[in-house]
Each structure stands twice: as C-alpha cells, then as structure tokens.
Amino acid sequence: MTSLPIRVFPSAAAVRRIGLGLLDCTLPRAQWTHEAHLAACLWLLTERPDMVPERNLPDIIRRYNVSAGDINDDTQGYHETLTQLYIRGVRGFLEVCGPSALAERANLLLTSEIAPRDWPLWFYTRECLFSAAARRNWMEPDRAALS
C-alpha cells in the first residue's frame, strides 16, 4: 500500500475541534480523514467519560455521514467492523502510551502500529473485511487473532 503523509494535529484544540465537529455534525467533510477518525476516537476515550465509544460511536458516525451527504449502506459509509476494531486498537494504544498532552497523544497514535490504513488487513482478508456483513456487524478476524 502506498504510504500517505501523516497529517498531525498542531494542538489539543485541533483534536477537540475534530471530536466536537463530529458530535455536532459541523466538521467539514474534507476534514473527516483517517487521522481525524483516529483522533476523534482517542478524544472520546480520554475526554468524554460520558460516552462509551463501542456503543455510541456507530450512531455518531452514521449521523455525521448523513449530515455530510453520505450514504450508510452495504457498500459505503459506516463500517461496524472497522469502527469496533479501531476502538480496540486505540484503547490498546492508550494502555501503553503513558501520560502526555492530548495533541502529543494523538500524534503518537498517528505513528503507532495501528495507524496505517492497511492495519485491519493484518487481521482480516479483504473479502471478509469489505463484505456487507462486516460493514453491518462486528466480524471476528479471519486472518489473525486480535491480541
């Protein structure tokens, strides 16, 4: 897979802006990048104890997608297996990250082993991961077990 440049976050305010923009559906669609997905998850896990990402994030993302003019169906939009996998990955990252400021934590996450866009393919075959079933529901990995 071709490596794309990492878009880092210059401040905690930039990370919070992503998270808040996702929640209130004001984040411009062009800013809902791979890095933003990871940072929003990290922000929810660290600064929003009132939310349980495994429970809340699916509807948050679906609502945001619709507000941005996207469609959530069997081929595009929200993807349950990817969302739940990355929540697990970000939780694992936070367990070993150690204390640091929000922007530093987000940027460390973007250089961690879970940050590459092809990280899910360590655990899933393309056929499984990109199936309608995996988009709709959590699927256990079919390539390698999650640690």
User: Distance between CA 123 and CA 51 in Å, rounded?
Assistant: 27
CA 116 to chain CA centroid, Å, is 12
Mean pLDDT of all residues belonging to the chain: 95
Sign of CA dihedral 98, 101, 106, 108: negative
List the structure tokens of 49: 């104890």
List the structure tokens of 118: 């092809």
Q: What is the pLDDT of residues 13-59, one digit of tens each?
A: 999 999 999 999 999 999 999 999 999 999 999 999 999 999 999 99
pLDDT of res. 13: 98
Q: What is the pLDDT of residues 54-75, one digit of tens each?
A: 999 999 999 999 999 999 999 9
Q: Closest Cα to residue 85, out of 37, 48, 20, 33?
A: 37
Q: Name 51's Cβ contacts closer than 8 Å, sequence gap at least 6.
A: 44, 57
Q: Closest Cα to residue 90, out of 127, 53, 50, 49?
A: 53
pLDDT of res. 134: 98
